[in-house]
Amino acid sequence: MVARHDQTTDPVLLDGLLQARRGTAFFARKLNELADADLDGASLLPGWTRRHVVSHVGYNARAIARLVEWAATGVETPMYPSVEVRNHEIDFGATLSPIALRNLFDHSAVHLNVEWRDLPADNWHHKVKTVQGRTVPAEETVWMRTREVWVHAVDLDNGASFTDIPAPVLARLLKDITGAWHTRGTDKDLVVEVTGQPSAMVFGDTAATSPTVVSGTLPAITQWATGRGTHGTTATRDGEPVTPARSAPKWI
C-alpha cells in the first residue's frame, strides 16, 4: 500500500503540523501514564478533573476537524453551535468510562490528522470562523490545536511542565497572550521580560513610567502568562520586589 502524505508542501505549515503532532503524542504519553482511577483526580485547572481535560482535548479535535472540513468543502461547519453546547459537551465527556474517554482522545486525534493530511494545498488558505468569532485561514487550525495539546498536557498534572514545551511554541504562545492583553488594554503598567534568550523578549506597557516588571525564563513566564503559577518568576517595581506577585491578566 502506498503511504499517504500531507498534500501541502509549504515548509512553514509542515513545521507547524509537526509541532501539533508532537504535542498530540506528548499528551497521549502523559495520558497513558495515568491509571484509570487517576482520571478522577484534580487537574491544574480549577474545577476540572483530569477527565474534563481529556474530554476537552478530545472534543476540541473534533471541533477543529469541522473547520478543516469547512475549508475542504466550502460548506460552513462551525466548531460548536454555541459556547453553551461546547461546555455541556465537555461535562458530558467527563462522565464517560475510562476506556471511552481514552478512545475519544485517540479517535478524534486520528480524525483531525487525516483531515489535515488530505486537505488540498490551496484550501489551507480558505477562511473559517473560530468559536470566538474570528475569521482565519484554515492553516490557523494547526496553531489552535498545537497550543491546546501542549498546554493541556501540563494541566493533566502528571509530571509535565512548561519546560517540556518546545521554545518556538512557547514564544508564539507568549506573543499571542501579550498581544491579547495589549488589545484589551489589560497590560497597563505591566512589563514582561524573558531572560536567558539570545535576543531580547520584552512585552507590555513599555512606555509606563513605573511599571511592574515580571521576569523569568521563557517557560516560567509563559506558565505565569497562562495563569498557571508564578514559580520561576520575579516581580519588581522601581527596582524593589513586589509581593505578592502580580497575577497575569486574563488571557481567554
Provide the number of structural domains found in the chain: 2
Residues 151, 199, single domain; the answer is no
Residues 190, 76, single domain; the answer is no
Residues 148, 176, single domain; the answer is no
Domain stop point among 123, 142, 160? 160
Please tell me the distance from the alpha carbon of residue 117 to that of residue 111, in angstroms, as a whole number.
10
Residues 191, 122, single domain; the answer is no
22 within some domain: yes
* Residue (of 6, 252, 12, 35) closest to 151 by Cα position: 252
Residues 156, 73, single domain; the answer is yes
Cell numbers linked to 245: 506577585
Check whether 41 has a pLDDT greater than 80.
yes
Residues 63, 183, single domain; the answer is no
Check whether 117 has a pLDDT greater than 70.
yes
Confidence of residue 243 (pLDDT cuts 50, 70, 90): confident
1 within some domain: no
CATH code assigned at 101: 1.20.120.450
Residues 154, 216, single domain; the answer is no
CB 243 within 8 A of CB 220: no
CATH code assigned at 216: 3.30.1050.20
237 within some domain: yes
User: What pLDDT, on the 0 to 100 scale, is given for residue 132?
Assistant: 83
Q: Which domain holds residue 199?
A: 167-241
- Tell me the sheet residues that pair with 136: 128
Other CB atoms closer than 10 Å to residue 193's CB: what's the count? 19
Confidence of residue 58 (pLDDT cuts 50, 70, 90): very high
72 within some domain: yes
Domain stop point among 115, 139, 160? 160
User: What pLDDT, on the 0 to 100 scale, is given for residue 131?
Assistant: 85
CB 123 within 8 A of CB 138: yes
114 within some domain: yes
User: What pLDDT, on the 0 to 100 scale, is given for residue 195?
Assistant: 92
Torsion of CA 88, 90, 91, 97, to 10 degrees: 130
Check whether 226 has a pLDDT greater than 70.
yes
Domain stop point among 136, 160, 184? 160
User: What pLDDT, on the 0 to 100 scale, is given for residue 197?
Assistant: 80
34 within some domain: yes
Check whether 65 has a pLDDT greater than 60.
yes
Q: Write 90-95 long-range contacts (CB < 8 A, 24+).
A: 90/52, 90/55, 90/56, 90/59, 91/52, 91/55, 92/55, 93/51, 93/52, 93/54, 93/55, 93/56, 93/58, 93/59, 94/49, 94/51, 94/52, 94/54, 94/55, 95/51
Q: Residues with Cβ < 8 Å from 137, sequence gap 6 or more?
A: 124, 125, 126, 127, 128
Residues 143, 229, single domain; the answer is no
Residues 79, 180, single domain; the answer is no
Please tell me the distance from the alpha carbon of residue 214 to that of residue 200, in angstroms, as a whole number.
14
Please tell me the distance from the alpha carbon of residue 215 to that of residue 201, in angstroms, as a whole number.
10
Please tell me the distance from the alpha carbon of residue 88 to that of residue 46, in angstroms, as a whole number.
17
User: What pLDDT, on the 0 to 100 scale, is given for residue 166?
Assistant: 97
Poorest-pLDDT segment among 51-60, 129-138, 163-172:
129-138
**Nearest-5° angle of CA 244, CA 245, CA 246?**
115
Mean pLDDT in the chain?
Answer: 94
247 within some domain: no
> How many residues in the chain?
252
Q: How far does the chain reach from its first CA to its final CA, in angstroms? A: 44
Residues 37, 58, single domain; the answer is yes
For 234, the 3-state DSSP assignment is strand
Please tell me the distance from the alpha carbon of residue 105 to that of residue 88, in angstroms, as a whole number.
17
User: What pLDDT, on the 0 to 100 scale, is given for residue 161?
Assistant: 96
User: What pLDDT, on the 0 to 100 scale, is given for residue 2?
Assistant: 44
Please tell me the distance from the alpha carbon of residue 130 to that of residue 51, in angstroms, as a whole number.
24
Please tell me the distance from the alpha carbon of residue 133 to that of residue 234, in angstroms, as a whole number.
35
